[in-house]
């Protein structure tokens, strides 16, 4: 679906659910997941599947759980080796 404009630079590996994702250093988690063909980042509190929309931190549609913290905007977090990213289902939990 999405292709990188240019490839190059050192790569970084992290996990999305049970998959290993290879990303280019410096890109966001959202960009890396989209480039890997992932199109469902979360399900909204009302049920439907959601994916990134704005990629600039404004729409909050790209929310995922990163290293156990829910409601993180995937487009605002840079990839880093060993991150553990998970789909978020519905609203985040407090407790």
Minimum distance, C-beta of residue 95 to ligand FES, in the bound complex (Å): 25
Rounded (5°) CA angle 32-38-39: 115
Interface with another protein in residues 22-81 (CB under 8 A): 45, 69, 71
Give the max Cα distance, the chain: 42
Residue 68 Cβ, how far from another protein at the closest point, in Å?
A: 10
> Interface with another protein includes 90 (CB under 8 A)?
yes
Closer Cβ to another protein, 49 or 91, answer by number: 91
Q: Are 90 and 45 in contact (CB under 8 A)?
A: yes
- Nearest in space to 44 (alpha carbons), one of 55, 53, 56, 31: 53
Smallest distance from the beta carbon of 18 to another protein, in angstroms? Answer: 24
Which residues of this protein are in contact with another protein, per CB under 8 A? 45, 69, 71, 90-95
């Amino acid at each position: 679906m999405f292709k990188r404009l240019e490839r190059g630079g050192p790569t970084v590996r992290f996990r999305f659910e049970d998959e290993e994702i290879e990303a280019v250093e410096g890109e966001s988690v959202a960009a890396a997941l989209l480039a890997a063909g992932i199109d469902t980042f979360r399900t909204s509190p009302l049920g439907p599947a959601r994916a990134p929309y704005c990629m600039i931190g404004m729409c909050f549609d790209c929310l995922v759980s990163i290293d156990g913290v829910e409601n993180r905007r995937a487009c605002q977090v840079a990839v880093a080796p060993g991150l553990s990213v998970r789909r978020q289902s519905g609203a985040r939990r407090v407790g």
